[in-house]
Amino acid sequence: MVKIFSFLLFFTFSFKLYAIDTKAEQAVVIDFDTNEVLFEKNSNTKVIPASMTKIMTVYVAFDRIKNTNFAISNECKVSPKAYKMGGSRTFLEIDDNVTVDDLLKGIIVQSGNDASIALAECLGGTEEDFAKLMNVYAERLGMTNTNFINSSGWPDDNHYSTVYDLGILSNAIIKDFPQLYTYFKMEEFTYNEISQPNRNKLLYEVQGADGLKTGFTKESGWGIAATALRNDRRITVVINGTNSSRSRLNESSNLINWAFNQTSQQTLVEKNEFIKEVDVWLGSESSINLISEQKLVSTLSFDQIQLMNSSITYTNPISAPIKKGDELGKLIINIDGKPKIEVPLIAEKDVTEVNPLFKIFAAAKYLIFGRSLDEIK
């Protein structure tokens, strides 16, 4: 017989969470640690990523620096193609040899299209071949709705991504290259005697902001991949399709602040936590503890905490023999707005069978009195 037991995991809260929305046409808010999407709006719609593309250009370079002899002190020659590139620039000079360090700063801080091409050619031979490499990395990271044609984000019909994919990329560059990621916190960079501030204004105006990259084209509007760290908790936001740089700043900062202020990470269950004592049929012990197989952490709003409920399913009684770690049931957690969560419940220890003669006696007793073994006095 399968039994279901219901209980609340947390005390209720009286705070009412107000709904969040954004003027951005596309948006996603991700908790960095739990990888949960806290808010989304058209997050899988294909968009022009514009200069947010440069996060992948930098990701490829970081990977080469971390895993090969390629170093930030290496020099790359500026080609005529890089020098002539329009849009935002680092103001590289043709045929100059520029360090990888300066090119990275030019890309991240100044959003230099010329620096992006120079680095792409240095790593891939041609920008076209480098773009193929970008797509290999995108596939590895699970960016299933992305295709790169160039290293800078220059508009092309076949150059696209989604804010969700860019969120995956943003979190990956932070996780995979924590030491190199500090480039994104730079507020200003001077090259060729021209000083330019970081175009990510969140660095100056939002608590804990330390990256990543803005983007703009007339067709796509203003977008940004942004992240902030507060009290060891990180939130990543990607938006696109706002109508001004001010709106981009306001919408991204609103979403970051909402995530920090109105959601929190909750440990739903600890690994090996005691959940339920259940009967054992024909075992050397009359009962056994069911414990959780894994630790489960989720990011929840206050409303979700208040409305959350859970239940346990298992067969009662459970027949011996039982080995420690056997899955004997499930803890089912229902949270509004999230898929149903199932946590396996396992045996805390071994329970052997009783001897054959006692089995016969126990079975007869059950048939006569309708009692299980653990009820025999």
Query: How far is 66 from 60, CA to CA, in rounded Å?
Result: 10
Under 8 Å CB-to-CB from 232, ≥6 apart: which residues?
none
Under 8 Å CB-to-CB from 269, ≥6 apart: which residues?
9, 275, 292, 294, 295, 296, 331, 343
Please identify every residue annotated as catalytic.
Answer: 51, 54, 111
Distance of CA 117 to CAs 26, 46, 66, 126, 128, Å? Answer: 28, 24, 21, 9, 10
Distance of CA 102 to CAs 55, 112, 149, 195, 326, Å? Answer: 16, 11, 24, 13, 57
- Determine the residue type at 352: T
Query: How far is 222 from 224, CA to CA, in rounded Å?
Result: 7
For residues 351 and 322, the answer to whether their CB atoms sit within 8 Å is: yes
Beta bridge partners of 309: 334
* Nearest residue to 226 via CA among 20, 24, 17, 21: 24
DSSP label of 178: T
For residues 108 and 213, the answer to whether their CB atoms sit within 8 Å is: yes
**Pair of tokens at residue 310:** 């859970």
Query: How far is 297 from 280, CA to CA, in rounded Å?
Result: 31
Under 8 Å CB-to-CB from 135, ≥6 apart: which residues?
146, 147, 148
Calculate the CA 157 to chain-centre distance.
Answer: 28
**Burial classification of residue 90, based on how many CB atoms lie within 10 Å of its CB (0-12 exposed, 13-18 middle, 19 or more buried):** buried
Query: How far is 111 from 132, CA to CA, in rounded Å?
Result: 21
